[in-house]
Amino acid sequence: MCVVGRRLRRRSLDDEARFARSLGVACLLGWVIQQGYFVFVVRDLHESLPLHFCDIAALIGPLALLEGNRRRRTLWRNLLFFWGFALTTQGLVTPTVDHGPTHPRFYLFWLNHGSVVGIALYDTVVRGYRPTWHDLGVALSVTYGYAAALIPLNLALGVNYGFTGPSTPSVSTVIDALGPWPLRLLWMALIVAAVFHAVWLLSKLPTKASVENGTD
């Protein structure tokens, strides 16, 4: 996607915008299919609500692609960057899917997480998005605010959306090493802040894409 997008962008911004919109529509359709599968097929309150960070990021990603060539610093581009590179990548490193390749959920998991990271990479490499210090603060505020809102919901329903509830994923993840709830929420908050700062600092490195797009 990035190679094609870069070539199209050098030729014409309109050509790249049409390509990005096509990708955005495809990813949006994929998001609808996935959520429909979990709501109507899985029908499990612990999994079927699109409340995980990656579920929301998978919806934000297509919105960023459908935006066209406007260089506005929108909230969804900001959250796509930080939730894509800092949060969703953790799902790729320690996947929580407990089904093999003979089950549809295996492919839905990898397509969902892969599309988030892929679109974040596209917006960075092709369109030269670079978050500012203010964007970092906004992303942290929204992330902490949303995580805090999930805590009472998790407690009331006995679920674990956003991994802020008392339970842990069914497969081994880094959360298992953070100790008991609720103290591990503090360690999670500190880790999120550190990783957000790390990806923000990496985005400050000049690249050919950022120079071409005038974002350095």
Q: Which of 200, 195, 199, 175 is nearest to 185 (CA)?
A: 175
The answer, yes or no, to whether residue 170 has pLDDT greater than 60, is yes
Query: In the prediction, which pLDDT does 216 show?
Result: 40
Query: In the prediction, which pLDDT does 207 show?
Result: 59
Mean pLDDT of the region 170-190: 91
Both tokens assigned to 102: 């003979």
- Degrees to nearest 5, angle at CA 148 with 166 and 152: 55
Q: DSSP label at 87?
A: I
Residue 67: band (very low, low, confident or very high) from pLDDT cuts 50, 70, 90: confident
- Between residues 31 and 215, which one has the greater pLDDT? 31
What residue numbers bound the domain in which 119 lies? 2-212
For the segment 110-137, what is each residue's pLDDT rounded down to a tens digit? Answer: 999 999 999 999 999 999 899 999 999 9
Query: In the prediction, which pLDDT does 68 show?
Result: 63
Tell me if 85 sits within 8 A of 165, measured CB to CB. Answer: no
- Between residues 170 and 215, which one has the greater pLDDT? 170
User: Is-above-0.85 flag for pTM?
Assistant: yes
Residue 207, helix vs strand vs coil = coil
Mean pLDDT of the region 169-185: 89
Mean pLDDT of the region 187-216: 79
The answer, yes or no, to whether residue 64 has pLDDT greater than 90, is no
Query: In the prediction, which pLDDT does 212 show?
Result: 54
CA 187 to chain centre: 20
List phi, psi (to 5°) of 56: -70, -40
Query: In the prediction, which pLDDT does 208 show?
Result: 58
Number of structural domains in the chain: 1
